[in-house]
Every structure is written in C-alpha cells, then in structure tokens.
Structure 1
Amino acid sequence: MKKRKKSNMEDFKDSESKSVSETVNGSHQFTIKGYSLAKGMGAGKCIQSDIFTVGGYDWAIYFYPDGKNPEDSAMYVSVFIALASEGTDVRALFELTLIDQSGKGKHKVHSHFDRALESGPYTLKYRGSMWGYKRFFRRTTLESSDYIKDDCLIMNCTVGVVRTRLEGPKLSSIPVPPSDMGQNLRALLESEVGCDIMFQVGDETFKAHKLILAARSPVFKAQFFGLVGDPNLDKIVVKDFEPSIFKAMLLFIYTDKLPDVQEIVDSTSMCTSTNMVQHLLAAADLYNLDRLKVLCEAKLCEELNADTVATTLALAEQHHCAQLKAICLKFAATPSNLGGVCSKYYRCKFQR
C-alpha cells in the first residue's frame, strides 16, 4: 500500500497560533445648529463635539467654520477627529460623513476604512493628535447645498480602533445549552403542582406558588411573609385587573419574559397589543416588577404612533416613566407627526 504523502501544511503543523487584528467600531453624530452664527470666529477657532468613547479611548470632533489654517479660511471648512484621552500610538480608522438633509441620501463621505488595505490604519501618537481634512468642503458650495437645512449641519463620525490579539489552539470545547429555567417554571405554573395560593380575577381563577411570587415581587413578599402578612392565606380576590392582564403578569413572574398578546387573549377579543401592554405596565408598577415595567415601556415605544401617543403619555405620567414620557413628548413635537396627533385629538373630541 502506498503511503499518503503529507501536504505542505501538514509538514509544518506540529503546533499553531493565530494573530487576529480587528477594529472596535463606534459612531457619534454631531449637530451644529446656527451654522451662520458660527462663521467669522476666525481661522484656527473651532466648535468641539461632546466627548465619546470607542475602543477604550475618548474622542472628539473639531469643526473649524473658518478653516484650520489662515490660508484656507476664506475657502474651506475644516473637520478633524482628535484623541481626547491619554494614549500612545493608538491605531485607528476613521470615517467622516456630512449628512444630506434633503432625504436623497447623497451624503458626503470621507472614509479611511476604504483605504485600509492601501495605507493601513492611522497612528495617533498622543492625546490631542488629530486626523481629518483642512479642506473638508469648499464653504460657498457647502452653504448652497442640501447639507445645511434650517441653518443646521449634521456630521456623523465613525472610529474603528485597531486591536490585535493572539489565539492559541483550543484543547477542548463543551457546548453549553441555553437556560431552560423559564420553560420549567412555566410548566410548573401550568401544571398547578404544589400551588398554595389562588387568585380570583373577575370570573377566572389562577393558582400559583407563594414562594415564587414573593421572590419576584416585594408586594407579594410583604403580603405573604411580611410583618402584617398572612402565610396561611390561600385565596385573594383581585379587583383592579382584567383576567388576561393578571395572567400575563403571572407568566412574566415565572418566565422573566414579556408574553405575546396572542398567548393571552382569544381571537374574538378587541384588545390590541398596545392596550394590553399599557394595562400590564400599570400592573407591573403596582406589584413593583421593575423589569416588566421597563419591558412594557420599550414595547410601547416600538408601537408608538399618532393613535397611541396620547394614552401612552398619560400612562407614563401616571406611573412615573420618565424615559417613556420624554419619548412621547418628542414624538408629538416632531413636525412630521404633529398633524396626525392633532387630527386624532380633534377627532376624539368631537366624537364625545
């Protein structure tokens, strides 16, 4: 039998390692309102963005409305990205994008990423080192373009910090299955095995486990095991919620996930996803289920529109949801949404 000849790769593979270089990317959007008022500050004078962090280093955008150098001040605006934290020989790639505000998507892009194979990353030697363009854009062209709208200019900066790591061979790998705790606890709830408390909600009853409820909700813990609680309590009448909302809250307590509205209500129900989540947020606030409350806020943000913003705003105010309230106010104040919100308001007013 002929002995198989080794390939060139096999001849040299007694051991191995791998050097992996990659970028840690992050972006920052810098908006300059009142561009016309910024002009005339003089060459070398700049407007600085807020500090942002990418790859463990701080960065800032510097915009020079009259150019960085006196010789360019009458002709060009200058834009630079600077290393704003301590560091030596920080290697990075950059991209500066001037946003086209006409909606046509014709952004002006200066990208170092596209030239990485040709010239490699740029090295910033110390804090204050810069990368950018003295002649970023001719001023007269910029001021007559769609990059400025309502005296406002928007830039997006992407930084890719280069990181290199050494990988050795993995001796073994054992796959770890995903957690099934939520599935198991849900099965326990649905089987009613070991249940020691029953809730009467409208015409429906729900059985559960006091210890699990107490572990998840400070309100249930106080009700069952607090100083004035009753550990022998075996039935509670709940008057403030629809059965479907209480069922959804129980499912969250056992699974730690926001349940799907289709799981909770039957096909004949008029209850919408938004309506159910609004009521579920109120239940979460009552029982101090903080994670459920935030999940409901996030879901309501996703479904926010002219028809729901008013009720969602009122709910956010009532239950002290500061982030949700701010998003509702911002949505309603946006010019493109204002017409729909007002139309909905007057329609509701005249239908009463």
Structure 2
Amino acid sequence: MAETSPSSQSRSLTETVNGSHKFVIQGYSLAKGMGVGKHIASDNFTVGGYQWAIYFYPDGKNPEDNSAYVSVFIALASEGTDVRALFELTLVDQSGKGKHKVHSHFDRALESGPYTLKYRGSMWGYKRFFRRNLLESSDYLKDDCLKINCTVGVVVSATDCPRLHSIRVPESDIGAHFGVLLENMEASDITFDVAGQKFHAHKLAMLHFIYRDSLTEEVESVSSSSSCTSPVSDTLTAKLLAAADRYGLERLRMMCESHLCKDISVNSVAEILALADRYHATELKDVCLRFATENLAVTQQFVF
C-alpha cells in the first residue's frame, strides 16, 4: 500500500503596517517666498521599518505648472528598494468644523494598488496640493500656522503558517491518578476558602496541572484565539510558562510551549521569542527562529 503524506496548509498574508505623523508649520508667511522647488521638511518618522518625512513647498515644487500652488509630498528618507506603500495627506481645518482637505491613496487601493518607491528620496504627493491664494484666506491657516497630518501604510507580505510548526508533548497517564486524588480529597492538608467555596488541596500543588497533568480550559481558550489584542506575556499560558520555569515543571513547560507555538505569526513571533528565551523554552525558541527565517522580509522590521 502506498504511503500517504500528511496534509499541510499555509496562508499568504498581505497587509499594511500603518503609522501617522503630525506636521505643524508655524510662520507660514515667513516661509512663503523661499523659492520654487525649495521645501520645509518635517522630522523623520518611522513606519514599517522605514524612515519617512513630509516635504512642504510653500512656492510649489515645479515652476512650469504649479507656481500658484503649494505642494506637499511624502518622501522615503531611508534606504529602501521597491518599497510599496499607501499614503494619506490631510490639511487640517482649524475652525473646528471638521472640513479637512484629504488626499487619500488608501481609498484608491483596490483601483490602482500601492505606490512603489524605488530608492531613498522617492516621493508621493501633490504638486497642486492647494491653490495658494485660497489657502491664505481659508480656515486651514490660523495664526500663521498650518497643520498637516500624514498616514503611511507600508505593505508587507508573509507566509503565515503556524500549523506547520508544532512541539510534541509526551503522553502521560499521571493525570488520571492525581485527578482522583483531587476529587476525593484523600490526604489533603490545606483548604482554600474562595468566596465561600472550599477547595481541598495539597501543599506546594499547582492545582490543575499537578493533579491532572493537563492545562485548564482557560488556557485552551486563550491559546486558540490568535486575534487576542492583549500582549502574549499577559496570557495565562505565558504565566504558566514562567511558573514551570521557576519550579522546574518540565512537562508543564512543554505544554505551554506547544500552545504558544500555535500562536506564532508575523505579529507575535518577536514577543513569543522573547518569552521563550526568558523562560528557557528551547524548542519554542527554535520554532520562533525558524519561522522568523522563513519570513525574513517581514520579521526583520520587528525588534527581537
């Protein structure tokens, strides 16, 4: 009979890493007249592992077609090749009416796709961002001040396949024996009174694991939800891993490693690797490093 190979699956995940920057231009009237093609730059800000900057041209970027306009661009300020991103530039209405002027590439993503920046200094923006005479009589200019909000969404892709990585936990029947001991309260030498409900136990016992050699349902439910917004270090699984490391409970450590392994993704691998290193979870650490290597283009943007 021919052998059947085990089935497997993977998922290609493409998403944006978003970040925003607020650029306040104080003293607009003094900047005006600096010359066509001359710009004021914001401080550099980081999104998706790259440096960006906002360039404001008070007299326009090019003389031939926009000297009557102010120009605004977002520039790639660090080294990068074929960086794909979405952008949004918002000129803030300072009257409080909320009538902001928004130029958004995000809204056209389905139509035209992300914009590709080929090298450091590549820019996206508008030569004719706003007609200068209208700007100077508008609610966008107040107390000789302009405010520009910028959002950048850097496109990243990775193969997200936590199911391809697993850590095997050895079989055990100790739970059946100790589970009975917990239920019939034989030889218990301590009682916990919690809100009127009494629990009989034995000293130095981590109740559920030590008696049943398994994880609780609470651990199961937290580990199975990769969409949990709380940090991995705040989960019950991570806390049990810390306890297992502290008290030398090797099988509990392996159980926690196995469950955390299932939650490895491009967004969580850095934090799980840090936990594995801190609590000497060697197999989990190896899986994190393999996953990071397989998805190097994305994970290199995160700090381990």
TM value normalised by structure 1? 0.46
> d(CA) in 2 for partners of 1:156 and 1:29?
5
Among 63, 76, 79, the residue aligned to 1:86? 79
CA contact (8 A) 1:16 1:169 kept: no
In the alignment, structure 2 segments of 5+ residues that lack a partner are 1-5, 168-219, 224-234, 241-304
> d(CA) in 2 for partners of 1:178 and 1:168?
21
> d(CA) in 1 for partners of 2:93 and 2:122?
28
Which residue number corresponds to residue 177 of structure 1? 236
The one-character-per-residue Cα deviations of 1:182-226 (angstroms, maximum 9, x if unpaired) are: xxxxxxxxxxxxxxxxxxxxxxxxxxxxxxxxxxxxxxxxxxxxx
Among 110, 116, 133, the residue aligned to 2:126? 133
**Matches of residues 66-105 of structure 1 in structure 2 within 5 Å?**
66-105=59-98
Deviation at 1:75, TM superposition (A): 1.3
Q: Does 1:57 align with 2:116?
A: no
Query: How many pairs are equivalent?
Result: 170
TM value normalised by structure 2? 0.53
CA contact (8 A) 2:66 2:127 kept: no
Change (3 A) 1:55 1:169: closer
Amino acid in structure 2 at the alignment position of 1:168: C
* Structure number with bigger Rg: 1
The one-character-per-residue Cα deviations of 1:303-327 (angstroms, maximum 9, x if unpaired) are: xxxxxxxxxxxxxxxxxxxxxxxxx
The one-character-per-residue Cα deviations of 1:94-145 (angstroms, maximum 9, x if unpaired) are: 0000000001111100000000000000000000000000000011111111
Which residue number corresponds to residue 159 of structure 1? 152
Q: Does 1:146 align with 2:205?
A: no
Among 25, 28, 38, the residue aligned to 1:45? 38
Amino acid in structure 1 at the alignment position of 2:119: Y
Which one has more relative contact order, counting CA pairs under 8 Å at least 6 apart? 2
CA contact (8 A) 1:43 1:73 kept: no
Change (3 A) 1:180 1:96: same
Which residue number corresponds to residue 20 of structure 1? 13
The one-character-per-residue Cα deviations of 1:223-267 (angstroms, maximum 9, x if unpaired) are: xxxxxxxxxxxxxxxxxxxxxxxxxxxxxxxxxxxxxxxxxxxxx
Give 3-state SS (helix, strand or coil) of 2:134's partner.
Answer: helix
Identical aligned residues as a percent:
77
CA contact (8 A) 2:66 2:128 kept: no
Change (3 A) 1:57 1:180: closer
Deviation at 1:22, TM superposition (A): 0.4
Structure 1 or 2: larger helix share? 1
Deviation at 1:71, TM superposition (A): 2.2
Change (3 A) 1:179 1:123: closer
Deviation at 1:63, TM superposition (A): 0.3
> d(CA) in 2 for partners of 1:180 and 1:55?
30
> d(CA) in 2 for partners of 1:160 and 1:74?
30
Change (3 A) 1:168 1:74: closer
Deviation at 1:150, TM superposition (A): 0.3
Change (3 A) 1:147 1:180: same
Give 3-state SS (helix, strand or coil) of 2:97's partner.
Answer: coil
Amino acid in structure 2 at the alignment position of 1:146: D
> d(CA) in 1 for partners of 2:32 and 2:64?
16
The one-character-per-residue Cα deviations of 1:140-197 (angstroms, maximum 9, x if unpaired) are: 111111000000000000000000000225155963626779xxxxxxxxxxxxxxxx
> d(CA) in 2 for partners of 1:16 and 1:40?
60
**Matches of residues 270-285 of structure 1 in structure 2 within 5 Å?**
none
CA contact (8 A) 1:95 1:111 kept: yes
